[in-house]
Every structure is written in C-alpha cells, then in structure tokens.
Amino acid sequence: MGRRHSLADLSYGLAIGTLAVLALLIIVAPVVIVLTTSFTEGRSLKFPPTGFSLQWYEALFDPSKSRQIHRAVSNSLEVAAWSTAFGVLFGALAALGLARSRNRLARVADSFFMSPLVLPGLTFGLAALMYFTLMGFRPSLNLIIAGHMIVTVPFILRTTAASLSQLDPALNDSSQSLGASWLYTMRRVTLPLIAPGIMAGAFLAFMASIDNVPVSLFLSTARTDMLPIRMWGMMESTLDPRIAAVSGVLITVAFLLMLIMEWTVGLTRRMRE
C-alpha cells in the first residue's frame, strides 16, 4: 500500500514538474529569443542572428537616427508618470473609503472600479474614444493620460486594499483616543503602514501604462506617438532590428525595477495578498 502511494506521489510530482518546466520555457523562451535577436548583425529581424553586434543599440541611442523612437519613449514615460500619480491619488482614496465598509454599495463600487481589468482592451479603447469625442475632446496626450489612469487605478486599489485589510484597526483607535486628529492619524499611522502596498500598485500601474496598446491606439495622434504604437508600426513596415533593441532595454529595465520593488516592498507578497 505504501509503495502504491509512493509511486502515485512520484508520478504526480513528475507530472507537475514537467508542466512547470514547460510553463517556464513558454514564458522565458520568447524573452531569450528577443534578447538574442537584438544583437544581430543583420539588417532585419531574423532568428537565429547571423552574428554578434551592438550596432542596433548604438543606433537606438543615437538622437539623429532614432528621433521618432525617442519622442515616443518620452510620450510614454510622461503618460505613465502622470497616470500613475493620479492613479495613486484616486486608487488610494478609493481603497480607504471601501476597505472598512460592509455596505452592499461598497461591494458594487469595488466591482465598478475593477471593471477596466475585465473589459476587453480594444472595447475599452473604442469606448473611451467615442465618449471623449461626444464630450467635444480631441485625441491628445491629456486624453491618453486620462484613459491610462482609468486602466491603472485597479492595480493600486487592489494592492492598497490588501494592505488595509491587514492593518489592525486598534492602531487607528488608539491614535484617536490619545487625541490625534483623523488627518494626523492618517499621515503618521495609516499611510506609513500601507505605503508598501501603494508602491507595489504604483509599480504595476506604471508598467501597465508603458505596455498599454488599446487605449494608446485609439487616443493617440501623429504628435502623441506612443512607444508600443511606434514599435507596432516598425514591425509592419520594415522589421527594423531596433525593435528588438527597444525590447531588450525594456526587459532589462523592468527586471531591475522588479528586483528593486521585491527588495524594498516585497512585490510578490503584495500581489498574493
């Protein structure tokens, strides 16, 4: 009987291990292919690369050769920064208002705030374009910031609410019983304790904004070119190897930022809460 159980456990472990290795390969293989292709000597995207060279990274960082890419990067960083800042403000306030409430309307409001993550991205981008057009606005950088903010708020709301759920209410009660105002309690007790959750949500929101295609596609113009849209256009027209170089830079920066966030606020733990 014991042998049968041990054989079953071994088979189960082997199956789970095999699936885990396959999942890891599916996730890691595209990243390795892109990074390898970015060092090609060829004039177009091709795997495996014909040789090793840093020419496409040099061309990417050359202001004269990659002016349009630099402008798209600048627009994407500006949109990501502002949408994350506003998202932190509204997402944290929403989490503070909804975390302690047991009202049914609070649950409805929470579902409403999380709905941008459920809706298909293209549907939301088209809806945002139609809505802003009916209001008399034209596509611009400010509209992209507003659209990205709506998409990124759920990340901040969820991680902040998770931090608030682990906050002992006795701490706030003790602060107020000692004569502290609600504003002082918020500034010196609540915010410092939930700051890691807010920072984790801000990181996820920033990365989601950088990578957002649907909203940028519908709300951008020729003057507000965004990095994902620029990369998509380069893929369709010329298969420029600088696309792989841009991807390599993004992968490296995202990995370093993820390590920093994991070290400072425990990003993985915050995402599991």
Pull the structure tokens for residue 95.
């989490």
Compute the chain's Rg from CA coordinates: 23
Q: How many helices (H) and strands (E) does the chain have?
A: 13, 0
What is the percentage of the chain residues whose pLDDT exceeds 70?
A: 93
**pLDDT tens per residue, range 146-158:** 989 988 898 998 8
Dump pLDDT digits (tens) for 209-252.
998 888 888 888 777 888 888 888 888 777 778 888 888 898 88
CA distances from 46 to 33, 220, 242 (A): 10, 30, 12
pTM, rounded to two decimals: 0.81
Helix H, strand E, coil C: the string for 173-209 is HHHHHCCCCHHHHHHHHHHHHHHHHHHHHHHHHHHHH
Class of domain 64-272: mainly alpha
- The three-state secondary structure class of 51 is coil
Contacts of residue 132, defined as CB under 8 A and 6 or more positions apart, other chains included, come to 139, 143, 146, 219
Higher pLDDT, 38 or 266: 38
pLDDT of residue 77: 92
Question: Which pLDDT does position 86 carry in this prediction?
Answer: 94
Which H or E element spans position 234?
Answer: helix 227-237
**pLDDT single digits (tens) 102-144:** 777 777 877 888 888 887 888 888 888 888 888 888 878 888 9
Per the structure block, which two tokens stand in for 155? 């990340």
pLDDT at residue 52, rounded to an integer: 84
Confidence at residue 2, expressed as pLDDT on a 0 to 100 scale? 47
Domain boundaries, the chain: 64-272
